[in-house]
Chains A and B, each alone.
Chain A
Amino acid sequence: MTLEEIIKPENRIYGKTPLLTETPMHYCPGCSHGVVHKLIAEVIEEMNIAEKTVGIAPVGCAVFAYNYIDIDWQEAAHGRAPALATAVKRLNPDNCVFTYQGDGDLAAIGTAETIHACNRGENIAIFFINNGIYGMTGGQMAPTTLEGMKTATCPNGRDVSMEGYPLKISDMLAILDGTCYVTRQAVHTAAATARTKKAIRKALENSMNSKGTSVVEIVSTCNSGWKMTPHQANKWMVENMFPAYPLGDLKDR
């Protein structure tokens, strides 16, 4: 069969969802943020809830998320996305509301907002991109940076005697009574993207059904900050990030 015979509309099985805008994403080549944006857009499209979904964009590399998924958005101050999401969901209980946050945003400056929103059981979904680093500002150490991992602010590697241990914040959030679903996923393979997509769907459904707070951590790469190629970064993530942040459901009730 020739390519022309295969490339016909009736044979199309996968492509860009129209909910992802035509605006090229500003992320570095190979960045996990793009994959996660794509999955969120696909789920919103498939659930047919674009008209009633509100995203809260963070400060961090995903600060322009509102340019890429064609839904309503609000932009939060650094770390405050769960507080803003609380307001949006309480004022518009029929809306599906999610935050999109990096590890610096969620687990450093926004720790209080994150913990208290989860403890109050706000009916929101939290999508947490854990790349173990402050990507946007040039690759500084985050609370999630691995022991021994080199960043701009720990050039000799994170020393736990000085800087503490990698913060397993999703495990902490899972023990709070307000969370209904806490899971840790990744997007480095086709199979992993399928699992993450299911998790995103469950989290958005929980928001629609007011079941409590859902947290979907996506263990991610920041190949620029890690100073690796995208493929090397995926391998490094599997070998180093996954042992510290094992994938799977932490809670599902």
Chain B
Amino acid sequence: MAKNRGAVVIDIERCKGCQLCKEACPSKVLSMNIEANSKGYHYAYMEVTEACTGCASCAYVCPDACITVYRVKND
């Protein structure tokens, strides 16, 4: 099955832990870290790494432009 495989990198210090990325992810990849950044926000991270398709929905809705998206064709 040809499918995109993706990954996201989250700028931990920019993240405000709003969870909008987590809610927007159709593949339920993202969760909030139990650790907090220097401002005390529980930042987002990839919990289910293998489910990411690189669709970038999370990044489009992130109000703080924290998310960089990578995608490869996987066949």
Contact = CB atoms under 8 A, between A and B. Distances in A.
20 contacts: A3-B49, A7-B7, A11-B71, A11-B72, A12-B70, A14-B60, A15-B59, A24-B13, A24-B14, A25-B63, A29-B18, A29-B63, A30-B19, A33-B63, A34-B65, A35-B62, A38-B63, A189-B57, A190-B24, A193-B60
Contacts of A52: none
Contact of A6 (B19, B20, B56, B70): B70
A142 to B, nearest CB: 21
Interface of A: 1, 3, 5-8, 11-17, 20, 24-25, 27-35, 38, 187-190, 193-194, 229-231, 234
B20 A190 contact: no
B70 A11 contact: yes
A170 B70 CA distance: 38
A30 to B, nearest CB: 3
Given A29-B17, A188-B61, A190-B24, A6 B68 contact: no
Given A1-B72, A15-B65, 7 more contacts: A11-B72, A14-B56, A17-B65, A24-B13, A27-B63, A28-B16, A230-B18
A160 to B, nearest CB: 32
Contacts of B54: 6, 13
Given A29-B16, A230-B19, A35 B61 contact: yes
A8 B63 contact: no
Given A12-B70, A35-B63, A1 B18 contact: no
A14 B19 contact: no
B72 to A, nearest CB: 5
Given A13-B54, A34-B63, A231 B9 contact: no
B63 A31 contact: yes
A19 to B, nearest CB: 10
A189 B16 contact: no
Contacts of B61: 35, 187-190, 193
A3 B63 contact: no
